[in-house]
Amino acid sequence: MASSWPLPENDPWSTPFAQLLMHHLELQPGDTVLDIAAGGGVPAFHLAEQVGPNGKVLAVDIHQGQVVRSRSIQGQHMPWLQFEVGDMRVLPPTLPRFNRITGNLSFMFFRPNRFEALKNLVQFLKPGGQIVLTFPSLGTFDSLWVRVDEEMKQRNLLKERGALVEYLEERPSANQAKQWLEELGLERVEVTEWPLEIFTGPGREFLEHPLLRGGFLDDIYECFEDQSLAHEFMEDLSQDVGRFTPLLAQRCAMSGFLPGQK
């Protein structure tokens, strides 16, 4: 039967990550799911359709505005799906345990202590339950970072270069994710990376690219104390996209099961 709540076809970022998440997730009708960093409901709506009325999906996001938007999309549909405000790093201990925990484009926001946040979250799995998180892993857009670093070096921007190095070192890697899942005692641990190309032209198209501007380019601006210098730097960089394209993201999924019977 065709899905009434498919993953959105025209989303070049959330959907490819969510496809990888669904590829790893073992889901059955009647399952209970905690979806963290739920945002606009990718993949919460799709998951709710899959578990059906005998299941339950609790979709949590830290931003009230996101929760309100998702509730308005939901309307009266699938009452077993519930959007709530919450911080995935410190969820209340009163929350029940779930068969599945999912988080599309989530793990990079487990800062500042990713291991602690992961450990807290795993506590909400039932024995035999599975956790699947996706995130852009170390290596994402490396061609851009190399070009930015080279330009900063040429302009002798020492402080900005230091801030860039700090940012780059803080990114989560696939290896780290695998090690942590194993350290937490999870079984059948799988961490996979699939490359994903993001297309952009020069100038405004690069600077205002909906995906790049929302996160990655802001991270470059944040390396600068002087924002007018940052703008000038970015304008120049935007004329030079040929030197750092293709832009490749590392689409990473981490999955593991808590020991025990479902």
Ligand X SMILES: C[S@@+](CC[C@H](N)C(=O)[O-])C[C@H]1O[C@@H](n2cnc3c(N)ncnc32)[C@H](O)[C@@H]1O
Residues 7-26 that bind ligand X (CB under 6 A): 14, 18
Shortest approach of ligand X to residue 168 CB, angstroms?
Answer: 19
CA within 13 Å, CB half, 221: 14
Shortest approach of ligand X to residue 17 CB, angstroms?
Answer: 6
Across the strands, what pairs with 247?
Answer: 198
Shortest approach of ligand X to residue 219 CB, angstroms?
Answer: 14
90 vs 146, beta carbon nearer ligand X: 90
The residue with its CB nearest to ligand X is 39
Beta strand 247-257 with 187-198 is antiparallel
Contact string 62-81 vs ligand X (x = CB under 6 A): xx--x---------------
Amino acid at 74: Q
Angle made by CA atoms 8, 137, 249, in degrees to the nearest 5: 55
Residue written as tokens 């059906």?
A: 52
Of 33, 88, 174, 247, which one interacts with ligand X (CB under 6 A)?
88
Of 80, 109, 167, 194, which one interacts with ligand X (CB under 6 A)?
109
**CB 155: neighbour CB atoms within 10 A?**
14
Of 70, 74, 99, 104, which one interacts with ligand X (CB under 6 A)?
104
Amino acid at 254: M
* 236 Cβ contact partners less than 8 Å away, ≥ 6 residues apart: 151
Q: Which stretch binds ligand X (CB under 6 A): 82-90, 166-174, 178-186, 234-242?
A: 82-90
Q: Which stretch binds ligand X (CB under 6 A): 59-67, 74-82, 167-175, 197-205?
A: 59-67
164 contacts 197 by C-beta, under 8 angstroms: no
Q: Give the C-alpha separation, 50 to 28, whole Å.
A: 7
Nearest 10 degrees: Cα torsion 127, 108, 204, 220:
180
Q: Which stretch binds ligand X (CB under 6 A): 39-47, 137-145, 205-213, 233-241?
A: 39-47
Q: Two tokens at 104?
A: 């599309």
Q: Which stretch binds ligand X (CB under 6 A): 101-109, 142-150, 179-187, 198-206?
A: 101-109
Q: Which stretch binds ligand X (CB under 6 A): 54-62, 135-143, 156-164, 176-184?
A: 54-62
Shortest approach of ligand X to residue 43 CB, angstroms?
Answer: 7
Tell me: does residue 121 bind ligand X (CB under 6 A). Answer: no
Q: Give the C-alpha separation, 228 to 231, whole Å.
A: 5
86 vs 256, beta carbon nearer ligand X: 86
Closest CA to 252 of 204, 185, 195: 195
105 vs 217, beta carbon nearer ligand X: 105
Which residues would be at the binding site for ligand X (CB under 6 A)?
14, 18, 36-40, 42, 60-63, 66, 87-89, 104-105, 109
